[in-house]
Structure 1
Amino acid sequence: MKVEQIYTGCLAHAAYYIENNGEAAIFDPLREVEPYLNRANKDNAKIKYVFETHFHADFVSGHLDLQKKTGAQIVFGPGAQPNYEATIAKDNQIFNVGNYQVKALHTPGHTMESTSYLLIDENGKEHGIITGDTLFIGDVGRPDLAQHVVSELTEEKLAGHLYDSLRYKIMPLSDDLIVYPNHGAGSACGKKMSKETTDTLGNQKKTNYALRADMTKEEFIKELLDGLTAPPGYFPKNVLMNIQGYESFDEVKHKAENPLSPDQFEALANASQALILDTRNATDFSKGFIPNSINIGLDGNYAPWVGELIKDINQEILLVTDEGKAEEAITRLARVGYDHAIGYLKGGINSWISAGKETDTTERISAKEFETIFHEKTVTLIDVRKKSEYDSEHVEGSINIPLNTLNEHLAEIPKEQPFIVFCAGGYRSMIASSMLKKRGYDNFKDVLGGFKAIKETDVKTSDYVCPSTLL
C-alpha cells in the first residue's frame, strides 16, 4: 500500500499521504499546503479527503487551505464540532480513496473527538493505522489538553477514555499493522516518545509501557499522569484556531513578506508595539543585535519556543533573519498560529550595522573559563534547562530556573550581582540572555556549549556552594 510519511523535524510532526488510482488523501497536514499539492501533482492525483485525527494543539492544521485549493472534503471523527463545513465521521465509517479504504475508528482519550484511521489496501488487507495523538511509538497522547478548552474534561476522565480506546479499539487489531503516529521524540504532546516514527503494532504491545496486557485502568491513569509537565501556553490557542478557522496562509505570508530598510524597520518598531524577533544562531546573535530584540534561532525548536515565550498569539512581530531565511521564519511562525509578522529587516543585521544603527552584545564564555570562575566560587549559576534535565544531572549548587518560567522569576535574580546562565548546549541560554538583556540585566555571562561542554572540564560539582542570595 502506498503510504508516505511527510515528517517535519522542528515540530516532530508527521503528516501522511496516500494515493491510489488517481485519488489521494492527506492526514493531519501542516499550515503550508504547497508540499501536499506538489506531492499529489507528481502522481497526477486529485486530493479527495483531508482527514484530521483531532483538533490539534501544537500546530495549526492546513485542512482549510487544502479544502479551498482542491475542493477536498475535510473529515473529523465523531463528536467534532468545527465552525466550518466538514464531514463528521461515524465510528467504523469507511471512506474510499481509489481502491483503498480508510476506516474511521473513534478513539477518544487525548481529546474526545480523537479518531484513528485504519488503512485497508486494494486487496482488502489491513495495512496500517494512522493514530494521531492516541498512540505514539513508545508512548500515548497526553490527556490533559482538552480541559484547557472544556473545563469538565479532566485529565483523569480523558485518561480513562484513552485506556478504553487502546484496549478495545487498537490492541485487538493485527500485530503486523504498521502504526503511523502524528508525532515523534521532541513533541510536547507526550513524554516518552521514541525517535522512531513508525513501528508494528505487535512490537508496541511488547515495548510500550501503556500497552501492557495486565495493566488495570487505575494503573494506566496513574502512570500516564505521573511526571506530566504543564503543556506549552500556546496549545489552547491553536486548538481554538483549528476549531474556529483562520486566515489563509497565503494572506498571512503576503503581509509578513514586507522587506524593510533599516530606517523603515526602526520607524515601524518605534511606532508599533511590535516585538523584534531575531532568528539567527546564538553565536551570531551574541556578537551584535538590535537592542531589545529577542533571540529564538531557526536552528533549534524555533516555533515551539515562540509559542511558549510569546504569550500573546496576536503579538505583532518584526523579524531579523539571515539572508534568505525570512520566508522560513514566517512559515514556522504561522504553523503555530503567530500570524502577525509585519515585516523583516532587508539585508539582515549587516544592513543595520552599515546604516550606523545602535547594536548591543552579550558576553559568552568557554567551559574552561567557566571552570575558573566556578572554582573561585564568586557568582551565582543559573541553569535554564527543564526540571527533568536538571534533576537528572546538574552542576551542584546551581539554581534551576527553566527557560519557560524565567519571566516569572526575574525578581529572584538581582541585577547588581554577577551570575552565569547556561542550558544544555547554548540555544536556550541565549534565548534567556536576550530576555534578560531586554529586562535591563547586564552583569551576566552565558556559557558557550552549555552543560555538555561543562561536563568535559574538571569542574568538581560537589565542591560548589551557591551564593546565598538566591537560596
Structure 2
Amino acid sequence: MYFQHIYDDSLAQGSYFIGCQKAGVAAVIDPKRDVDTYLKIAREQKMEITHILETHIHADFLSGSRELAALTGAQMYLSDEGGADWQYEFAHTGLRNGSRVQVGHLEFEVLHTPGHTPESISFLLTDKPASNAPVMLFTGDFVFVGDIGRPDLLEKAAGLKGTQEAGAHQMFTSLKKFSALPPYVQVWPGHGAGSACGKALGTVPSTTTGYELVRSWAFHFEEDEAGFVQYLLADQPEPPRYFAMMKKLNKINRPLLTAVPVVKELGINELKAAMDKGYKLIDTRDKAAFAEGYIPGSINIQDNNSFNTWAGWFLDYDTPFILLAAPARLDDLTRKLMRIGLDNIYGYIPDVKIWENAGGKLEHEPVISLDEFKTLYQNNGIQVIDLRGATEYQSGHIKGADHLFVGTLPNNLGKIRKDKKVVIHCQGGDRATIGYSLLARQGYKNILNFSEGMNKWLEDGNQVVQQ
C-alpha cells in the first residue's frame, strides 16, 4: 500500500492519496480544488487515480472531486445517507452504511457517522494483502485528534434552524461506532488545529482509536447524553461567512476549474476604473507595511495561513476583486482563493507605486503603543472595541471594551462611535488591521489601532474582566 497525507496549512485541511502498488491504482479522499498535487503524486508513483471518495458535503472548502474526476476519469464515491435534503445533485456512485469500495487489493468499508452533518460517512481501510484487520479510519469531520466535529454549522452558517441539537444527539450515537473499533486503528481526520470545524483540534496529524478513547473529552460522558450535547455546542468559534456558499457549491452542479488561473497585471487606469465600480482592492502586504502607506479604500488581508479564511469573510462570489501582491506570491494566493471558490480575481498590482506614480496619495494608519492607549483609556474619552471572537472576549477582556467580532464588523457599523476617538484591538494585531482598513474604507477618520492588543496588555500585567 502507498499512503500520503496532503495537508493545506491555510485551511488546516487534510486530504489523502492511498494506492495499491500491485494493481497500480489509487483513491483520493476529500481532495482540495487545486488537484495538480494529486496528479503529480500519481505520476511519481506510476499509479492511476480511479476512485475519489468524500466524507461529507464540506462547508469549509470547495471540494476538488469533480475537477479531479474530469481530469482523470475516476469515479466519485459519495454519501447517499442523510435523507432527501442531503443528497449530492450530480452523478456519482452512492454509498451507504456497510458499502464496500475496492481499490486494487485495498478495501474501504463505509460507516455512516452523522453528527457533524446528516450525510457524514467515514472510511475504514483494510489492506487485504497484509491482513484482514482494519488499519486506518478516515473520519472527515467526525472525529479529530482530541476533538470531534461541530454539529452547529448547518444552523449558524447555512441558516438551517433546529439542526444543531439534532446533530449533537446524532454525534453521541455515532461515537459508539467509533468506540467499538479495535484500539489500534489509525485515525486520519479531515482537519487539524486552526480549523473552524471544531474548538480544540490537536496539532498532530493523526491518532488511534484507542488513544482517543482515553484522551478526547468526547468519550468521557459515558451515558450522560444531555451533558455531552451541552458541552459540544458551547463555545464553538464563529463560522466564516463563506461556509454557507461552500455547502451550496459542494452539493450542486457548478463550473469546474481544472487549472490554477493566471492573474493579469493591471495598469493604473484599469485599477481606478475597477475601484470606481466597487471592486475591492485586497492589500496582502504585512500589516506594518500597510500602516506606513496604503491606497485609499484598500482592505488589508495579510498573506499568511489565514488569508483565504478572512478573504471568505469579506469578499462575495459575484463581484470581481483585485489583489495587491508580489508576482512571486500570486500562484499561492490564487490557490488559496480557489480552494474556497473565490475565482473572480479581476487582476493584480505588484505594489503601491503604481498609485503614487500616477499622482495618488497614500493614507497612513494611526497605530498606537500601549502607553498611548493607557493614557487615552484612563482619560475615559474613547470607545474601546475588542475585535476578537466571542469566546476570547468572554474569557478575559479590557474593562469597558465593547465586543464586535471583526468578521461581522461591516454589519455593525452603527455600533461604532463617530463623536469620539475609537481604539480597536484584537489579540496580536492581524485582525485589528483588517478592522481598521474596513472602517477607513467606510470613511471613519477617528479610528486608532492598538495593534499590540491583548498580548501586550497581559504581558504588561494589566487586569482583564470576564463575561
Aligned to 1:293: 298
Distance 1:146 1:373 in 2: 42
Aligned to 1:467: none
Distance 1:8 1:54 in 2: 18
Distance 1:230 1:381 in 2: 21
Q: 1:424 to 1:149 in 2, by over 3 A?
A: closer
Q: Residue 178 of structure 1 is aligned with which of 183, 186, 194?
A: 186
Residue 250 of structure 2 aligns to a residue whose secondary structure is: helix
Q: What is the Cα deviation at residue 461 of structure 1?
A: 5.9
Paired residues for 1:70-469 under 5 Å = 70-79=72-81, 81-121=87-127, 122-123=129-130, 124-147=132-155, 151=160, 154-167=163-176, 169-212=177-220, 214-250=222-258, 253-254=261-262, 257-270=263-276, 272-310=277-315, 312-345=316-349, 347-457=350-460, 459=462
Distance 1:259 1:69 in 2: 29
Aligned to 2:63: 61
Q: Given residue 441 of structure 1, which amino acid in structure 2 is its aligned partner?
A: Y
Distance 2:79 2:90 in 1: 15
Distance 1:215 1:332 in 2: 42
Q: Given residue 5 of structure 1, which amino acid in structure 2 is its aligned partner?
A: H
Q: Given residue 232 of structure 1, which amino acid in structure 2 is its aligned partner?
A: P
Which stretch of the first structure deviates more once superposed, 381-390 or 328-337?
328-337
Q: 1:109 to 1:458 in 2, by over 3 A?
A: closer
Which stretch of the first structure deviates more once superposed, 57-66 or 145-154?
145-154
Cα deviation digits, residues 307-338 of structure 1 (max 9, x gap): 2233x322221111134222222221221122
Distance 2:378 2:74 in 1: 64
Q: Given residue 25 of structure 1, which amino acid in structure 2 is its aligned partner?
A: A
Root-mean-square deviation (CA, aligned residues, Å) is 2.1
Distance 2:338 2:225 in 1: 39
Q: Does structure 1 retain, via aligned residues, the 8 Å contact 2:158–2:243?
A: no
Distance 1:301 1:87 in 2: 34
Overall identity of the aligned pairs, in %: 32
Distance 2:305 2:65 in 1: 26
Aligned to 2:10: 10
Q: Given residue 197 of structure 1, which amino acid in structure 2 is its aligned partner?
A: P
Q: Given residue 16 of structure 2, which amino acid in structure 1 is its aligned partner?
A: Y
Distance 2:259 2:34 in 1: 11
Q: Given residue 344 of structure 1, which amino acid in structure 2 is its aligned partner?
A: Y
Q: Residue 41 of structure 1 is aligned with which of 31, 43, 47?
A: 43
Q: What is the Cα deviation at residue 215 of structure 1?
A: 3.1
Q: Given residue 63 of structure 1, which amino acid in structure 2 is its aligned partner?
A: S
Aligned length: 456
Cα deviation digits, residues 39-70 of structure 1 (max 9, x gap): 11110111111110000001101001100111
Q: Given residue 293 of structure 1, which amino acid in structure 2 is its aligned partner?
A: S
Q: Given residue 316 of structure 1, which amino acid in structure 2 is its aligned partner?
A: P
Distance 1:445 1:116 in 2: 48
Distance 2:329 2:253 in 1: 28
Q: Given residue 278 of structure 2, which amino acid in structure 1 is its aligned partner?
A: Q
TM-score, normalised to structure 2's length? Answer: 0.92
Residue 326 of structure 1 aligns to a residue whose secondary structure is: helix
Q: Given residue 76 of structure 2, which amino acid in structure 1 is its aligned partner?
A: I
Distance 1:420 1:144 in 2: 33
Residue 319 of structure 1 aligns to a residue whose secondary structure is: strand
Distance 1:144 1:406 in 2: 22
Q: What is the Cα deviation at residue 373 of structure 1?
A: 3.5
Q: Given residue 30 of structure 2, which amino acid in structure 1 is its aligned partner?
A: D
Which stretch of the first structure deviates more once superposed, 131-140 or 409-418?
409-418
Distance 1:394 1:300 in 2: 26
Q: 1:212 to 1:460 in 2, by over 3 A?
A: closer
Q: Does structure 2 retain, via aligned residues, the 8 Å contact 1:11–1:304?
A: yes
Q: Does structure 2 retain, via aligned residues, the 8 Å contact 1:234–1:313?
A: no
Residue segments in structure 1 that go unaligned for 5+ positions in a row? 463-471
Distance 1:381 1:213 in 2: 40
Q: What is the Cα deviation at residue 176 of structure 1?
A: 0.8
Distance 1:217 1:4 in 2: 37
Distance 2:153 2:384 in 1: 34
Q: Does structure 1 retain, via aligned residues, the 8 Å contact 2:186–2:206?
A: yes
Distance 1:137 1:118 in 2: 17
Q: What is the Cα deviation at residue 76 of structure 1?
A: 0.8
Distance 1:461 1:220 in 2: 30
Distance 1:322 1:427 in 2: 19
Q: What is the Cα deviation at residue 2 of structure 1?
A: 3.5
Distance 1:367 1:373 in 2: 10
Q: Does structure 1 retain, via aligned residues, the 8 Å contact 2:396–2:464?
A: no
Q: What is the Cα deviation at residue 370 of structure 1?
A: 2.7
Which stretch of the first structure deviates more once superposed, 51-60 or 414-423?
414-423
Distance 2:305 2:190 in 1: 20
Distance 1:185 1:56 in 2: 17
Distance 1:309 1:150 in 2: 19
TM-score, normalised to structure 1's length? Answer: 0.91
Q: What is the Cα deviation at residue 164 of structure 1?
A: 1.6
Q: What is the Cα deviation at residue 383 of structure 1?
A: 1.3
